[in-house]
Amino acid sequence: MTLAAPSSDRILNIYLTLNQYPVLSSRIRARMRKELFNRGIIAREAFNSEARKKAVRSQMREGIQDPFGEESFEIWELRLSRVRDSLTDFYFAYNFPYEFLEEIIIAILAERGGGAPDLVTFNPELAPQEMIFDQAKAIESLPPEERKHLEARLQDIKVVLIRTLISDQLAYIKIAKKWFQISDLKKIRNRRIGEGKIGGKSAGLLLAARILEEAAPDAITEHIRTPDSYYLGSNVMYDVMENNGLMQWADQKYKPEEQIRAEHPELEKDFRAAKFPEEIVEKLAALIEKAKNKPLIVRSSSLLEDNFGASFAGKYESYFCPNQGSVEENLAALTDAIARVYASALRAEPIIYRQQTALIDYDERIAILIQFVEGEKFGDYYLPHGAGVAFSRNLYRWSADIKREDGFLRLVWGMGTRAVDQTGNDYPRLVALSRPLLHPADNIKALQRYSQQFVDLIDLKANQLKTVPISEIISSRYSPLRYIAQNAGEGYLSTIHTNLIDTEKLVITFDELLRRTNFAEEMKIILKLLEKHYKAPVDTEFAIKIINPRALQPKVEITLLQCRPQSHILEEDEIHLPENIEEENILFSTKRMVPRGSIEKIRYILFVPPEGYFNIESQSERNKLERAIGHLNAALEGENYIAVGPGRWGTSSPDLGVHISYADIYNTRALIELSG
């Protein structure tokens, strides 16, 4: 074996030699320190104390006046590890001959090929990530027999990496440590931009994908995937705030609700004017270059999001970036979208939700999940063949034939936003996975009325997300059309067999997709597997692509976009409604499906009369009503009350229902939506 020859400068010689082993150098230096400690040259405590002092002095040389306040934990750990390495080289160089370093290197190289290495020489909780990854890789590369006694060490390393890279939620770590391999965690780190954790939304998606990769049948794993994704670390939010003088907004969560609402427009303006750190901008620009005008979506991935016990669903914003401009324009749009997501974390709605779930004192930093949008071009538009939300437990059983445990889908054509954020005048296709072809509507007229009328898509020419009437863009030229829509005749629906169609008579049903492919059965298997290994019901977001629409039984590619524990109530005895209730004692009733649950001893009903609401002519008057609802909600805290109103509660369009937010209505026990 030939190593670098000794030089007159012993420290430089060690440094140059170890540079030839960029991966093994951390293990070599760990062995060098062990020799220093074991031979009494310097005590471990004295060495660590000296390293810390030298690291603090190096901060001051670099202009840091407050060593513990101006530098993030990750940067401090990197600094400390480099000082520790230099100190190791120094003490070793002046206490051992160069030949002893050669012996250590030869021994470690031999260990790599066989023999049990010394892999417990440092604490993973305190070590730099690179050193932890090196040690984990060394353990994983051992033969099974030699690796056996180091499995506990590997598990310890895995937990530390999950907690520092992904999430510190214990319920998540308990599951994730069983599934993630070190190689998975390294891939995550390689796609992370900036420091900090990648947050709950990213965590849930990655874990679900790993479970399915390992546990799902080959027939499913062949065509299930996740989108191309990148993660902006949670520390970047604080870096942006600190670098732009935005720390004045850091205490919003402790202010009164009215003040939070009043200050938010100015807060959002400040965030959108902020400059991002140069190294972050460079990496985002590289991401824009890689996307090559493919649309992106910027999604929140807070440290608490998609957690067990608190989902934060809909509490933060997501923004599409159509990405059709120049690199500079696309980069500006991307950083603006990120800034807007940051600002959304400081709105009243998520803050109040955190108060309600006893999470207000948690440091809720926002990481960002950036995904390439699923879909394909159709003329000037970009959209997927289908998208939606899937639940492993069906809480909407409109027939006795439907099994709760088989799951449920809300499925739409185009972007899944119309399935996630339902609107008052539009309806997704509801799919009970135990009876996928069974519609909630029992006649053609009702089926047409309660079907999807609008599609969310990206207008590539206009460079923006749009909502368009389906009849304006649907066409026989759309290759998967027959699997998505049907012809409405006199009292019946029929499959599309010809290019001669009347777009006004098309109804989005997805019946042919459900009849002629394995999609429904595969979604049922996916949901059952995820529920089994999450040990809780789950809900997921997904997109689909019909691979070969001209085949007799086409394949469907399923892209998993999100996975989280499904909010659910505990199992309870079946409720029996009293019979022969007098008509005057019935306040409202429904013959359509309602979710399972019961509320007793209702003391108040907040009622918005439909006639009065829709007769309000000015938006300012409606705003007064919305504020009044918010005040009543606050006054009824601790009381059992329900809210009854016209159309969709929380709709973004006041013409379709009562335009309020979670912060206006969070104390209610139930929301009742009147239609007809």
Average pLDDT (634-661) is: 82
Q: What mean pLDDT is predicted for residues 623-647?
A: 88
What's the pLDDT at 1?
41
Mean pLDDT of 33-52: 92
Which of 119-123, 354-358, 457-461 reaches the highest mean pLDDT? 457-461
Say whether pLDDT at 487 is over 70: yes
Give the end of a domain, one of 373, 395, 418: 373
Question: φ and ψ at 87, to 5 degrees?
Answer: -65, -35
Query: pLDDT tens across 420-454, in order?
Result: 866 666 889 999 999 999 998 888 888 888 899 99
Confidence (pLDDT) at 422: 63
> Does any domain span residue 551?
yes
SS3 621: helix
Instruction: Name 370's Cβ contacts closer than 8 Å, sequence gap at least 6.
Output: 229, 230, 231, 232, 287, 296, 297, 298, 299, 334
Residues 43-55, mean pLDDT to the nearest whole number = 91
Query: Is the model's pLDDT at 414 over the cut of 90?
Result: yes
Q: What is the bridge-based pairing of β-strands 381-383 and 454-459?
A: antiparallel
Judge whether 181 lies within some domain.
Answer: no
pTM of the entire predicted model: 0.78
| Amino acid type, 654 | P
Query: How does pLDDT run across 290-327, given as a tens digit for each residue?
Result: 999 999 999 999 888 767 766 677 778 899 999 999 99
Give the Å distances, CA to CA, from 259 to 21, 256, 658: 57, 5, 23
Residue 395 forms part of a structural domain: yes
- Same structural domain, 407 and 344: no
pLDDT band at 7 (very low <50, low <70, confident <90, very high): very low
Split at pLDDT 50, 70, 90, the class of 515 is very high
- Render 44-106 in DSSP notation, one character per residue: HHHHHHHHHHHHHHHHHHTT-SSTTTSS-HHHHHHHHHHHHHHHHHHHHHTTS-HHHHHHHHH
* Count of domains observed in the chain: 4
Of the two residues 171 and 335, the one the predictor is more confident about is: 335
The residues with which 464 forms a beta bridge, in sequence order, are: 459
pLDDT score of 156 more than 60: yes
Q: Do 115 and 96 fall within a single domain?
A: yes
- Angle at which helix 182-190 crosses helix 151-165, to 10 degrees, equals 20
Same structural domain for residues 53 and 99?
Answer: yes
Cβ-based neighbours of 404, under 8 Å, separated by 6 or more: 393, 394, 395, 397
In a domain, 496, yes or no: yes
Contact predicate 493/508, CB 8 Å: no
Same domain? 554 vs 598? no
Cα(50)–Cα(141) distance, integer angstroms: 34
Could you tell me the CATH number of the domain that includes residue 525?
3.30.470.20
At residue 69, the pLDDT reads: 61
Lowest mean pLDDT among 283-292, 319-328, 544-553, 657-666: 657-666
pLDDT band at 647 (very low <50, low <70, confident <90, very high): confident
412 in the same domain as 547: yes
95-111: average pLDDT: 86
Q: Residue 220's CB: how many other CB atoms inside 10 A?
A: 18
Residue 510 has pLDDT above 80, yes or no: yes
Same structural domain, 397 and 428: yes
Residue range 41-63: mean pLDDT, rounded: 90
Q: pLDDT higher for 314 or 202?
A: 202
Q: In this structure, is residue 209 part of a structural domain?
A: no
pLDDT of residue 393: 93
pLDDT digit string (tens) for 386-396?
A: 999 999 999 88
User: What local confidence, expressed as pLDDT, does residue 155 receive?
Assistant: 92
Tell me the pLDDT tens digit for each residue of 10-30.
Answer: 888 888 888 888 888 888 999
Q: Which residue has the higher pLDDT, 492 or 174?
A: 174
**What is the crossing angle of helices 129-140 and 151-165, to 10°?**
140
- State mean pLDDT over 572-601: 75
* pLDDT of residue 150 exceeding 70: yes
More confident site: 367 or 582: 367
Check residues 469 and 2 and name the one with the higher pLDDT: 469
pLDDT confidence tier of residue 570, bands split at 50, 70 and 90:
low
pLDDT at res. 120: 55
Are 452 and 514 within one domain?
yes
pLDDT at position 424, please? 60
What is the dihedral sign for C-alpha 56, 57, 58, 63? positive
Determine the average pLDDT of the residues in 343-353.
Answer: 91
How far, in Å, are 230, 372, 388 from residue 290 at the CA level?
A: 12, 10, 27
pLDDT confidence band for 458 (50 / 70 / 90): very high
One domain for residues 517 and 622:
no
Q: Mean pLDDT for the chain?
A: 87
Do residue 560 and residue 587 come from a single domain?
A: no
Which of 373, 408, 431 is a domain's end point?
Answer: 373
User: Which of 95-104, 531-540, 560-569, 599-608 is the least confident region?
Assistant: 560-569
Kindly state the average pLDDT of the residues 412-427: 82
Same domain? 622 vs 537? no
Task: Report the share of the chain in percent with pLDDT over 70.
Answer: 91
179 in any annotated domain: no
Confidence of residue 399 (pLDDT cuts 50, 70, 90): confident
Q: Determine the average pLDDT of the residues in 277-296.
A: 93
Expressed as residue numbers, the domain containing 155 is: 10-165
Q: Tell me the CATH number at 333.
A: 3.30.1490.20
344 and 478 inside one domain = no
Question: 212 lies in a domain?
Answer: no
pLDDT higher than 50, residue 263: yes
Domain boundary among 123, 149, 165: 165
6 falls in which pLDDT band (50, 70, 90)?
A: very low
Query: Does 661 lie in the same domain as 599?
Result: yes
Return the minimum-mean-pLDDT range out of 67-71, 263-267, 489-493, 628-632. Answer: 67-71
